[in-house]
Structure formats: structure tokens, C-alpha cells
Amino acid sequence: MALLNLVVVALVATSLWFNSPPFVNFPSFPDIANVKPAPGASFNGVSASSVSRTVTDKDGNVKHTGGSTVVTNDNGKVNKYTS
């Protein structure tokens, strides 16, 4: 009986180890911006994106580029912030 319990525990542990959690689908900028709450409902959403790049130009100089964008939707009032 103890051996059977050990085998069951090992199988469950192996199953949990190799099964990844379900993927979460995050809403995109348009998804957040286009939500219009129904009468009597409310919606508050935020979506953020950030990019950073470092490259070397033809003269060997290191160039840093990038920026961030945040979109908010507060009950249909959409704001976009960039840097």
C-alpha cells in the first residue's frame, strides 16, 4: 500500500511538473481603448507597452532608443501617454 501511494504521488508530481498553466490572453491597446461600458456598468482598463533597443551604428557608437506607451480607459474616456 505504501508503495502504491508513493507511485501515485510520483505520477501526480510528474503531471504537475510537465503541465504548464493555461496561457492568459492579455488585451491589446485597441481592446482596452474600444470598450464602451453599457448603461449602468463601469469599466476601468490600463494597457502598457515598453520597448528598449541598443544598437551600434556604422561608426561603432552605441545608440539607445525606445519608449513607453500607456493607454487608460476610464468608463469610455480614453487617454494615451507616450514617452
Q: Are 44 and 77 in contact (CB under 8 A)?
A: no
* Residue 1 predicted with pLDDT over 50: no
Q: What does the pLDDT look like over 31-68, one tens digit per residue? A: 888 988 889 999 999 988 899 999 999 999 999 999 99
Question: 57 Cβ partners below 8 Å, 6+ apart?
Answer: 63
Q: What's the chain's average pLDDT? A: 80
Count Cβ atoms within 10 A of the Cβ of residue 69 and give its class: 0-12 exposed, 13-18 middle, 19 or more buried: middle
Give the pLDDT confidence score for residue 4 in this predicted structure: 44
